[in-house]
Amino acid sequence: MSTPQLHEASVGTLRAALDAGETTATELAALTLARIGRFDAAGPRLNAVPVLASDIFDAARAADERIRAGRPASALDGIPYTAKESYSVRGMTVSAGSPAFEHLVAGEDAFAIERMRAAGAVLIGLTTMPPMANGGMQRGVHGRAESPYNGDFLTSAIGSGSSNGSGSATGASIGVIGLGEETWSSGRAPASCNALVAYTPSRGVISMRGNWPLVPTMDVAVPHARSMADLLAALDVLVQPDRRTDGDFWREQAWLPVPPVDKVRPSRFAGLEPASLAGLTLAVPRMYIGADVGIRSPIATRESVLALWRAMADDLRAAGATVIETDLPLVSNYEGDREGAPEIVTRGLVPERFLRSELVELTVWGWDGFLRRNGDPALQRLAEVDGERIFPHPPGALSDRYDERPPALELAAEVDLASLPAMPVPRLEDIPAMAEGLAGLERTRERDWDDWLAEHGIDAVVMPTVADVGPADADTEPASARLAWRNGTWVANGNLVWRHFGIPTVTVPMGTMADTGMPVGLTIAGRPHEDERVLRLALAIEALRPRRTTPARTPPLAATDWLALPIRSEAPQLTLAVERTGDALVVRGSARGDAIAVWIDGVQAEIETEADAFTARGQGTLVVALVRAQVGDAGAFGRA
């Protein structure tokens, strides 16, 4: 049996290797942990997966038994993945990056985790995020993730990119799928910075039950993957009906019906045919390519991003699409970004009281409901929470600059999260202006998006996902902060509108900037609940030419050198103990099998064996051991 290579491995490649008996789910889990040891805990110290699942090898062993019996649960059976720490995983912490919830234990799985568990996917760990997903690169209880591409730049947008750990982990081949989220641009921004594909669905398509909410009207689950094929394999698992509506705002509220999942999804995502680009009209907003002369504060799109856009536009035209430059009234009439343009706050279609309700009463309702459903005896109501610990300002960090945004965005800056636990918890139906507000969002979107697309014969809008990437020290250096907080850089292009109006998007790699070595994405936006069409467009655009580059900071690990043991057995068994002696680790264990390998921070260690006992020594913090027998593998890990 040859050693598999997880670096850039796809669902299809690993599925074939698992089904052919060329590897095992246990081996894939061990090698993923070895990559965490080498690149996350050591080396570039990505800090993307700070919380490891305790049952990794139990889940992997169960997958191996199904696969050996010829009954894999799904295309994802045995495939390693990660999830943001705002997804509830039964028995694990669900802190959402906040010190206030550092020790909160999930009582049940989130819907997405339920689905992945039923599909046999192996959860490796939970990924880094800022407190409550309320931002982008702010440091939470586990810090923040770093870029696998260039340590001088942020791995996501500073003001809205909270799935930064998911982006870094998936980009670095730590897991094949990463489960992220988005409220403003927290799924798209890290996808752009890590050459990933990301799907932000229409309202109600992927159940949010069991996810910590932030702004329930905007929150969506966002799968990250390194290819469209891998994304579609995940969507076959995730885009399914949820019989329960509690904790999933769009299916729980009664003011604005959303179509059932079965009416939105195709019968099967895997194998979905790419759209034909010939004859399509694709619009790129001038504001995102440096061509908008009317905008009040021009978006400073980096020249190397524009070069990638021009190459992409040439490819689109060569494939038969018409690419036109346009205004984007959905954004202009939301932010009032030019002379004569209204703002959502003052336009009269959406009550200002609703916009405040979304950020205050609805959040209180969502957070308290999450705690009640979660059922941790130590913390069951929002009123029990120390508000000052929900989103504390990191020591030494500069202040965020949300108050410098357009008026529509300044409302968020006015919300004091620390004050929310002291507020009464409303019933959903009693929250002010909800019915009028949701209806106003619909009218606005129909006028500025649906009708605008139809009037101009536009099939989809495409744009660079971001204008630039912020410097890594933007949280401490004023000059870097000025760059990172520019429009188009602090949040992905489009700002709040895609999520506020429920517009589906898919982001695919557009290329890597020649001057920074950082990737940038192309985002495709379509009509609400025409998600399949947007996905098919993304498939076609991805197929134009390879545009994902691999991160130089996280290369393939060396091939495993399997060492013979002097005993054999019918079933592999493994015990492991790790102790620290000075700067070194001493690993002792017992193994019954045919061969064994031990990694310390991703570096394979030399092993001394005596009968079924083994000893290994090295420096690091994360130890992974794997023992092999003819009937399967067993794995274990430990941290010092």
Domains of the chain listed by start with CATH number? 76-259+459-542 (3.90.1300.10), 563-639 (2.60.40.10)
CA trace torsion 144, 150, 152, 156 (10° rounding) = -40
How does the average pLDDT of the chain come out, rounded?
Answer: 95
Confidence class for position 435, pLDDT limits 50, 70, 90: very high
Alpha-carbon distances of 186 from 92, 194, 218, 351, rounded to whole Å: 23, 13, 11, 26
* Angle formed by the axes of helices 56-68 and 25-35, nearest 10°: 150
CA trace torsion 247, 251, 254, 256 (10° rounding) = 130
Model confidence over 271-321: pLDDT tens digits?
Answer: 999 999 999 999 999 999 999 999 998 999 999 999 999 999 999 999 999
In 3D space, the residue among 568, 578, 544 whose CA is nearest the CA of residue 628 turns out to be 568
Model confidence over 18-31: pLDDT tens digits?
Answer: 999 999 999 999 99
Res 10 pLDDT > 60: yes
Cβ atoms of residues 342 and 335 within 8 Å: no
In 3D space, the residue among 215, 216, 214, 177 whose CA is nearest the CA of residue 199 turns out to be 177
Rg of the chain (C-alpha set)? 24
CA trace torsion 410, 414, 418, 421 (10° rounding) = -100
Confidence class for position 371, pLDDT limits 50, 70, 90: very high
Model confidence over 471-485: pLDDT tens digits?
Answer: 999 999 999 999 999
Give the tokens for residue 13: 């490649």
Res 2 pLDDT > 60: no
Confidence class for position 632, pLDDT limits 50, 70, 90: confident
3-state secondary structure of 589: strand
Give the span between the Cα atoms of 368 and 211, in whole angstroms. 13
Give Cβ neighbours of residue 491 (< 8 Å, ≥ 6 apart): 136, 157, 159, 160, 161, 184, 185, 189
Model confidence over 31-45: pLDDT tens digits?
Answer: 999 999 999 999 999
In the chain, the percentage of residues whose pLDDT exceeds 70 is: 97
pLDDT, mean of residues 611-633: 90
